Structure 1
Amino acid sequence: NIQYPGIPMDPTSFVDFQLGGGTGVEQNSIRINALATPTSIVVTKVEETGIYLDYFKGLTVYPNPAADYITIRYEKLVKGRVEAELMDLTGRAVMSEEVRQGTNRQTVLDLTDVKNGLYILRFFDKDMNGVEIASFRLIVKK
């Protein structure tokens, strides 16, 4: 159950979602955050330990909170045409960047034109109709 501040908990309400299914992740340990607004509930993965067997090994995103840039670093991207997309909480894409295959790589996203706020950085496979690989909550604070 997720409770909206100031509104009594409804014990019959629930949010049902699947974590890790079909993403090639083994040995899941997942921490999530939920943000309740008057119109929606946004659930984001904060951290996932394990190995992205089909895609990434050693994926990290930093700094968080970020000001002018974020770095996406990974030990290995095994397959797929992977896109990193920064979305606001309405689901609107703010920016995107293709992540290149290879080992010991990094991609830097320029956030100088991005407003302060909470965003979702999601990684998806462009060849598999946008199948989501991973997502991270990102705070931009300048």
Structure 2
Amino acid sequence: ADMDGMSPGVFLSSYSADKTRLAINKMPSVEKNMRIKLFVDATSTANQQLRLTDMTNIAPKYNVYVIDHYKKDSLQLSLNNAYNFNINRADTASLGANRLELVFKLDPQGAYKLLNLAGKISDRNIILNWTTKNEAVYTVFTIQKSMDGGKTFTDIGMVTSNASGIYTFTDIGVDNGQVSYRLKQTVLENEIIYSDLVSFSFKAADASTFFVYPNPAAAYIQVNMPKVFKGAAEIRIISLTGKIIQKVAVTNNSPRLDVNALFPGVYIIEAKDANQNVIGQSKFIKL
């Protein structure tokens, strides 16, 4: 758009929300039924053409129209990117601020929709899966977690849309008790939608159970040993070839071990009591 500078023969400017003519525009987030007035003028009577050449920042779910109030006509620019019109200097209604207007209108068939959100338990992990329709590449999914029945939530991850319609996220090493999840869906800068909750329940481990979580693990593992175990114990991390990689002496039933230094792969974890009796054995994957 111009502001009448450099002696142009044709003038085109858009108006801001406060009715100021703009020479340089930064396109705001498109909202439902958004309207932008245009100013048009020319130094002589002539045929003109309005072209919309770049629509990369406009979501496909919005149709773009030019409304010609002078001719009582309209054209969908998202299908036809040029609109031809005539400026008649002898008719002031054919020029100025009250003739042309851009309208951005949501296509109901193209609106974003969350089709499904579900999850499943895998060891001590929760795998969330969801499907969507008509999401844009700038749609953001924030995974939120609640341990108090949905009263308060914590952000635990974020997934940016790739327009595939199929997404997944894994919450690793979930604590005992009831846990709920929801999706915070940022469709546009100022349009946020929250999903319904999906909930799961983890019971306290059985007293005779020996297991490791999270599994797979990246930084640490938590070892659950039977409550009948007393005194000191030794935990060994062993490679699949039988090599002892790490030995740790512990005195409690739920030690936390640092596995940051391990190479990615599958390992055996084994616990023995002071008499070298095996308390338990399992496998885990180091990411």
Output the TM-score relative to the length of structure 2: 0.26
Higher relative contact order (CA 8 A, sep 6+): 1
Q: Tell which structure's C-alpha radius of gyration is larger.
A: 2
Q: With structure 1 as the length reference, what TM-score do the two structures score?
A: 0.50
